[in-house]
A = this chain, B = another copy of it.
Amino acid sequence: MNAPEKLTLFTLADWSAQQLARIEQALSRWVACPNDAPAPAGLGDAMRYAVLDGGKRLRPLLVLAACEAVNGNPHAALRSACAVELIHAYSLVHDDMPCMDNDVLRRGKPTVHVKFGEAQALLAGDALQALAFEFLTPDDETVDAATQARLCRMLAQAAGFQGMAGGQAIDLASVGMPLTSEQLHEMHRLKTGALLQASVMMGASCGAPSLPVQHALRDYGSAIGLAFQVVDDILDVTADSATLGKTAGKDAAQDKPTFVSLMGLDASKAYAQELLARALASLDRLEADGLHNTSALRALADMLVNRQH
């Protein structure tokens, strides 16, 4: 009788529970309430409301999973995980404001401007973006300066005009306009893809991966970044608001171009699965040398594509 060649103990539920505990603890400790100087005049409350107690933490989990795959510095990874989540959280706060999507429900709760007023929501978003870069630049020995600088560079590029903000500008300009498939891809590559891919690459950048490993992870990040948006578009028409924790059917109501409106529902579902296969194939390349633990990255890609909300 042969023993199984490899006994896989990994389950996403166990791994996620462990990582989420680290993430939530760090966010709770670090967001706008250092012991010596909490954020003034209600700003800290708005910042914490925007970040804590909600969200799937997909981006932070990707950071930690990618760091694990390259055996990177766990301090740098935890800071990066929190930093990308702050950028994501700030973008939601600003996106929900009346001059943008004018949304009142987010993660099943009133949006930040509904709860704290528009001015405070604007400031809280601004302060969260700055805080992301504070997280990446601790004034101690846990993360070396070269890594700090590299992580800041990656996050700034992913968040800025050549990343998330640029994608949102295209989104804004494209309401009610017919987009080609190429234009829709470009919009989402920037709007959601850039930060998801940066999550993977920042996690990898907490170690010192070889160039082939970097390229494999870049391709993985690109595939899941796109898949995430395709699935989002699918869920917007197939799920209800209670399941989503946000207003369903809103893309169609706002006449926004989506993968579903462009390709149809069935083709969109097939495309999501194709992107999942592409992401997993990238990890095969990465695992070819036998050194990298990609269990978490694999499971996250699968979860992301096959999620129900």
Chain A residues in the interface with B (C-beta under 8 A): 32, 37, 39-44, 47, 90-91, 94, 97, 99-100, 117-120, 122-123, 125-127, 129-134, 136-137, 139, 145-146, 148-150, 152-153, 155-157, 159-163, 165-166, 168-170, 172-174, 190
A130 contacts B172, C-beta separation under 8 Å? no
B119 contacts A99, C-beta separation under 8 Å? yes
Q: Kindly report which residue of chain B lies nearest to residue A132, judged by CB atoms.
A: B156
A153-B126 contact given A145-B145, A166-B43, CB 8 Å threshold: no
Collect the chain B residues with CB atoms within 8 Å of residue A131's CB: 156, 160-161
CB distance from A48 to the nearest CB of B (A): 11
B122 contacts A100, C-beta separation under 8 Å? yes
Task: Give the contacting residue for A127; candidates B32, B127, B165; CB below 8 A.
Answer: B165
Q: Is the interface of A mostly helix, strand, loop or mixed?
A: helix
List 15 additional A-B contacts (Cβ < 8 Å) besides A40-B170, A43-B166, A137-B150.
Answer: A37-B162, A40-B169, A40-B190, A42-B173, A91-B126, A97-B122, A100-B119, A122-B122, A123-B172, A131-B161, A133-B153, A133-B155, A134-B156, A136-B152, A145-B146
Bound-state Cα–Cα, A122 to B95, Å: 9
CB distance from A144 to the nearest CB of B (A): 8
CB distance from A76 to the nearest CB of B (A): 12
CB distance from A129 to the nearest CB of B (A): 5
CB distance from A85 to the nearest CB of B (A): 16
Bound-state Cα–Cα, A161 to B123, Å: 9
Q: Kindly report which residue of chain B lies nearest to residue A161, judged by CB atoms.
A: B39
Task: Give the contacting residue for A166; candidates B94, B127, B165, B190; CB below 8 A.
Answer: B127
B137 contacts A149, C-beta separation under 8 Å? yes
- 15 pairs from A and B in contact (CB 8 Å cutoff): A39-B166, A40-B190, A41-B166, A41-B173, A47-B161, A99-B118, A119-B172, A129-B129, A130-B163, A131-B156, A133-B152, A134-B153, A137-B153, A145-B149, A152-B152
B99 contacts A161, C-beta separation under 8 Å? no
Bound-state Cα–Cα, A145 to B100, Å: 37
Collect the chain B residues with CB atoms within 8 Å of residue A156's CB: 130-134, 137
